[in-house]
């Protein structure tokens, strides 16, 4: 306490208040559930005569997603710092989750397709319980979202996994239908690369396991020509 005279009277100074340090309470961020974890299956098609793409000529994979995939969303904006506009994609989190699941199953040694890529996308939506009397399994799903937005989300998610850039996708077949549950099935294929073998004279010969599509076509034309000459 510090004493001093004020107008002839002795007064006692008021003690200084201690500053209280305020600690900001940080609420832990909620961990978003990965909708794709455990629901994605990647299967390579091997020696299947009934495969959509001939296994003699194509390398093909089937990606099964046992959940509803969202449609591609347009970029949104938000103000950062009160003045700066920041653009973001609402689908980024879901795309990353799906891509990570596929990448984990493909492995680190998987080589991406270098040529043209063929895609078959089947999108299935669950039949609403209140419409099961008017909708049958296999009926076309004519509601939103649009099929091109659904495809775009899938293409972007697979970009850099099976192929280096989605510009390689040259042939697309897509369909959205009703089913008993929400799921997606994607078939991804590309022509096999010719194998290089060495003959007895150490000359390299480019061959395919069972010829390419063009090779088979040429072989059949030659056989037909020889038969005609006879």
pLDDT score, position 52:
86
In the prediction, which pLDDT does 23 show?
47
Residue 216: pLDDT band (50, 70, 90) is low
Mean pLDDT of 182-193: 93
Instruction: List the chain domain ranges.
Output: 40-193, 196-229
Per residue in 127-182, pLDDT tens?
999 999 999 999 999 998 899 888 888 888 888 899 988 789 999 999 999 999 99
Sign of the CA dihedral with 220 first, then 222, 224, and 230 last: negative
| 201, pLDDT greater than 80 | no
For 159, the token pair is: 């970009």
- What does residue 45 show for φ and ψ, rounded to 5 degrees? -85, 120
Q: What number is the average pLDDT over the span 214-225? A: 53
| pLDDT of the residue at 138 | 95
How far is it, in rounded angstroms, from Cα 214 to Cα 41?
32
* In the predicted structure, residue 208 carries a pLDDT above the cut 50: no
pLDDT at 26: 44
pTM of the predicted model as reported, rounded to 2 decimal places: 0.65
Contact 12, 1 (CB under 8 A): yes
Query: Each residue of 149-176: b (16+ CB within 10 Å) or e?
Result: ebbbbbbbbbbebbbeebebbeeeeeeb
Task: Give a three-class secondary structure readout of 51-89.
Answer: CCCCCCCEEEEEEEECCCCCCCCCCEEEEECCCEEEEEC
Segment 192-217 mean pLDDT? 54
**Which token pair is 198?**
């060495």
Yes or no: say if 154 and 186 are a contact pair by the CB < 8 Å rule. Answer: yes
Write the DSSP symbol of residue 18.
P
User: What confidence category does residue 78 fall into, taking pLDDT thresholds of 50, 70 and 90?
Assistant: low
Residue 77 has pLDDT above 90, yes or no: no
Q: Is 71 exposed, middle or buried (0-12, 13-18, 19+ CB in 10 A)?
A: middle
- What does the longest C-alpha to C-alpha distance in the chain come to? 139
Architecture of domain 40-193 in this structure: 2-Layer Sandwich (3.30)
Bridge partners for 114 per DSSP? none
Mean pLDDT for 30-37 is: 48
Q: What is the mean pLDDT of residues 92-115?
A: 88
Residue 21 has pLDDT above 80, yes or no: no
Say if residues 96 and 70 touch (Cβ distance below 8 Å).
no
């Amino acid at each position: 306490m510090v004493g001093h005279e004020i107008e002839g009277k002795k007064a006692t100074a008021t003690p200084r208040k201690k500053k209280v340090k305020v600690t900001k309470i940080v609420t832990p961020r909620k961990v978003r559930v990965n909708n794709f974890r455990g629901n994605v299956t990647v299967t390579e098609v091997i020696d299947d005569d009934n495969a959509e793409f001939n296994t003699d000529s194509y390398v093909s994979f089937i990606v099964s997603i046992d959940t509803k995939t969202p449609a591609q969303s347009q970029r949104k904006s938000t103000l950062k710092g009160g003045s700066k506009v920041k653009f973001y994609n609402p689908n980024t989190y879901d795309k990353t989750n799906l891509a990570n699941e596929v990448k984990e199953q493909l492995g680190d040694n998987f080589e991406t397709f270098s040529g043209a890529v063929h895609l078959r996308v089947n999108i299935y939506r669950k039949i609403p319980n209140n419409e099961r009397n008017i909708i049958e399994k296999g009926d076309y799903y004519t509601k939103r979202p649009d099929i091109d937005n659904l495809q775009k989300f899938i293409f972007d998610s697979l970009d850099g996994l099976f192929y280096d850039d989605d510009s390689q996708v040259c042939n697309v077949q897509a369909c959205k239908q009703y089913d008993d549950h929400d799921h997606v099935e994607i078939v991804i294929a590309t022509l096999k690369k010719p194998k290089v073998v060495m003959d007895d004279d150490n000359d390299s010969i480019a061959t395919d396991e069972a010829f390419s599509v063009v090779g088979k076509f040429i072989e059949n034309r030659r056989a037909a020509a020889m038969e005609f000459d006879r």
